[in-house]
Amino acid sequence: MAESDTFQLAILDRLSVISAGEWNALLPKDAGPFLRHEFLSALEETGCVGGNTGWQVAHLVLKNDQKLLGAMPLYIKQHSYGEYVFDWSWAQAYEQQGMQYFPKALCAIPFTPVQGSRILSNGDIDTGLVRQRLIDGLKTVVLQNNLSSAHVLFPYAAEVSELKKQGFMLRDSVQFHWHNQGFENFEQFLAVLTMKRRKNIRREREQVARELINFRHVPGASSTDADWEFFYRCYANTYLEHHSSPYLSEIFFKLWVQRMPENLHLIIAERSGKPIAASMLVVDPICSKAYGRYWGAIEHVPCLHFETAYYQAIEYCIQENIQTFEGGAQGEHKMARGFLPTTIQSAHFIADPQFAKAVQHFLNREHQGIGAYIDELAEHSPLKSTKVQP
């Protein structure tokens, strides 16, 4: 076993300085596709992070001589876009006190509100020791570089516990997930819903069917450049409609599918052979999960969003025996379509002691509010019986 006093912490300004094999060896079996070197390095190589994006790459690694023992995917942020845990009010309050909130440190998967490991270890030494050293290192990065704060988004529960021990404050977020109860087909899924929800879903699906729209499912390994060019057109159009700019580039998606074809799945809506909408799933066969990430259309059809992004995805999960479909951040409307709320946490370290106290008071109130919100959602469960649990 390595002596802990020989450990060295270092910051990497790009992931390419270590091999995919070395980084991926740190990942637990349930890490999921978003932590893989192939995904994170593709973001960097295509300019989606780094440069002038406000996402400065600063991965924190723990080594013993040249051996990689642990790591955290880390970025120095100049804004709070693309995080899905909103701290704009904190930034405003911080700056009202004459202090700078940005830059801050962010341990997260860019643009991806998915729970997973954030403090990685190769297993050769005690995982708890690696976590302790990396969290200490993260706080040191904040203090030595005069950063306002450090934020660890959507870590697993064991990591949350260690972060809390080391002075991080916890914040709740609500997401909506669909759970497979051994369904053999979509009708069996509908059968566990209340009559109101069943009727609503059937009505929405019939509305799309009347438009004579068909759906083409395209596994990543079978996809073409043309498929991805159309998908990107839809994806970018969604941002345009919200008067925003897309975080990800077309070249990124093409590189991603080239490197990880087994994890990507396109659903393309077509009318008379002409594509009009698309959604993308990220598939994790090991953990039996699918993640709904992006959707868009070039033609407005009522309820097409629900059919393409939800109902087609649920049918795919049933067919492939995938146990969980995560529909992304927020969206109470997902409950009406068979998704259930779940609470996940993030962890936050504020350098200024007085401001940290104020944030803790805020989080205490927010925690109570989210608890009441979850109770209220439970009263509107889409399931026939609230006894049915995922």
Peptide bond into 382 cis (omega under 30): no
Question: What gap in Å lies between CA 307 and CA 321, rounded to an integer?
Answer: 19
* Structure confidence at residue 390 (pLDDT): 40
In angstroms, the CA 270 to CA 24 distance is: 38
The strand pair at 289-297 and 324-329 is best described as parallel
**What angle, 0 to 180 degrees and rounded to 10, lies between the N-to-C axes of helices 88-96 and 353-378?**
150
Q: Which residues in the chain come in under a pLDDT of 50?
A: 1, 387-390
- Tokens found for residue 154: 């959507």
How far apart are the C-alpha atoms of 235 and 296, rounded to whole Å? 5
d(CA 65, CA 42): 27
Distances (CA, A) of 160 to 86, 140, 157, 343: 18, 19, 5, 13
CB atoms within 10 A of CB 366: 13
In 14-35, which positions are buried (b, 16+ CB within 10 angstroms) versus exposed (e)? ebeebeeebbeebbeeebbbbb
Beta carbons within 8 Å of 353's beta carbon, 6+ residues apart: none
308 token code pair: 């393409």
Report the C-alpha gap between 39 and 253 in whole angstroms: 10
* Cα 213 to Cα 204: distance, rounded to the nearest angstrom: 13
* Phi then psi dihedrals of residue 32, to 5 deg: 85, 170
Where do the domains of the chain lie, and which CATH numbers do they carry? 4-172+345-377 (3.40.630.30), 181-322 (3.40.630.30)
According to the model, what pLDDT value does residue 329 have? 72
Q: Is the Cβ–Cβ distance between 307 and 204 less than 8 Å? A: yes
Q: How many CB atoms lie within 10 A of CB 184?
A: 10
pLDDT of residue 328: 74
Q: Which residue has the tokens 């077309």?
A: 250
Residue with tokens 């580039």: 249
In the block, which residue shows the tokens 């009441």? 372
Map residue 364 onto helix, strand or coil: helix
Helix (H) or strand (E) holding 96: helix 88-96
Tell me the pLDDT tens digit for each residue of 2-55: 556 789 999 999 999 999 999 999 999 999 999 999 999 999 999 999 999 999
pLDDT at 305: 96
- Name the token pair of 228: 């991805």
Nearest to residue 117, comparing CAs of 134, 102, 104? Answer: 134
Predicted TM-score (pTM) of the model is 0.95
Output the DSSP codes for 180-235: --S-SSHHHHHHTB-HHHHHHHHHHHHHHHTTTEEEEEEEGGG--HHHHHHHHHHH
Q: Phi-psi bin for 259: left (phi > 0), alpha (psi -120 to 50), beta?
A: alpha
Q: Which of 150, 34, 36, 31 has its CA nearest to residue 85?
A: 150
Contact 168, 127 (CB under 8 A): no
- Token pair recorded at residue 240: 């345009």
Vertex 154 angle, CA 165 and 305, to 5°: 165
